[in-house]
Amino acid sequence: MSNTPTAPAENAPPVRINLYSDTQTKPSPAMKDAMMAAEVGDEQHGSDPTVHELCDRVATLLGKEAAVFLPSGTMCNVAAILVHCRPGDEVVAHEHSHILSSEGGAHAALAGVQIMQLTGPHGMFTCDTLQASVRAKSRHAPEQRLLSVEQTANRGGGTIWPRDQLDHVLDFAHELGWMTHMDGARLMNAAVATGTPARTYAAKCDSVWIDFTKGLAAPLGAVLPGSHAFIDQAWRWKQRLGGSMRQAGICAAACIYALDHNIDRLADDHANAKRLADGLAKIPGLSVQSPETNLVYFDPTEAGLTGPELIRRMQHKGLRLSQLGPQIRACTHFDVDTAMVDEAVELIAHELRGARGLSDSG
Ligand SMILES: *Cc1c(COP(=O)(O)O)cnc(C)c1O
């Protein structure tokens, strides 16, 4: 297995409709203008004014004392776990969480922690499940140190933790003396979908971060807020990990632009996801999970094709999808409009009708 990312299949036509991920957005001309105009300094020396402005704004948005700018969401998770835990500690998280499936084993390799996997529908778990995970304190058992939750739960279907359930598990973790961390890669999607302020979801988290490269459509960057003491330690890890930058205000300006222009419009992505799911649900045999935000998961197996085969065929029609676990994921974002959604439904319906050996009128 190669360690390098795979390019789209050879001989495939150019991608016209990219539902692969909300990470694939391109910065808009107006965002690029904001980047060009950014006032910059040496971020590593704490003298980039645009990075300061971004960190102050995200700390306020999430109701925390301070924040640090990092190149990626993955580095936010890595730095936070490094601050909260010591080698040999245990982190408790959902079995489908990003820290387990998609970060290259970073938390074992770098923090030396093990991760206990909780189960539960849609990427979430209950207080009872959490309670059952608690180990009796003994020198035989690892120290359970941190509870990590994802809002929204990506592999759960872009689902939104209800506030009560979220607060219960976070309160319970604190009662146990654990720290709490929120992977908020798509936290702003949850906030826009429910009208609940992001800081309300983050209130009981000792650390939380948002990604600027998902629905917010910036080219890079994520911001990790927490207490002054936490951020002080996170800065040391940023330095150690090579995440300290120089004229990073160029990128922070894109993130500030996204805060000003790209949050409310996440509602459009959610409407498009619903439109996509409603269209797909009309295809016989296709099981579609009803979306709460911008991710649509479906399984075409009963409708006539395996996921990987449908993805391969769609790629030849210029439609890009991804396979996540047993399901296909289609993701709506800044560069996807309603006409593209309708065409995607049409392409998938046509292909599956063909696969079942029915005529188009059948
Ligand atoms: C994308 C994602 C990350 C990682 O963010 P990057 O900026 O791609 O490193 C972490 N957690 C979740 C839930 C994500 O979707």
What tens digit of pLDDT does each residue of 316-326 get? 999 999 999 88
Position 362 confidence tier, pLDDT thresholds 50, 70, 90:
very low
Q: Which residues line ligand 1 (CB under 6 A)?
A: 72-74, 98, 150, 154, 183, 185, 211, 213, 222
Helix ranges restricted to H, the chain: 29-36, 49-61, 73-84, 98-101, 106, 127-132, 154-157, 163-175, 187-194, 198-202, 228-240, 249-261, 266-281, 307-315, 338-355
Q: How far is the CA of 147 from the centre of ligand 1 (A)?
A: 17
The ligand 1 atom at the shortest distance from the C-alpha of residue 154 is 13
Residue 297 and residue 331 in contact, taking contact as beta carbons nearer than 8 Å: no
In this predicted structure, what is the pLDDT of residue 2?
A: 67
Q: How far is the CA of 72 from the centre of ligand 1 (A)?
A: 8
Nearest CA, atom 1, ligand 1: 185
Position 9 confidence tier, pLDDT thresholds 50, 70, 90:
low
Residue type, 65: E
Q: How far is the CA of 293 from the centre of ligand 1 (A)?
A: 16
In this predicted structure, what is the pLDDT of residue 3?
A: 73
Q: How far is the CA of 45 from the centre of ligand 1 (A)?
A: 27
Nearest CA, atom 2, ligand 1: 185
Q: How far is the CA of 213 from the centre of ligand 1 (A)?
A: 9
pTM over 0.85: yes
For residue 271, CA distances in Å to 189, 315, 345 come to 12, 24, 15
Instruction: State the chain's maximal CA–CA distance in angstroms.
Output: 68
Pairing of strands 295-299, 287-288: antiparallel
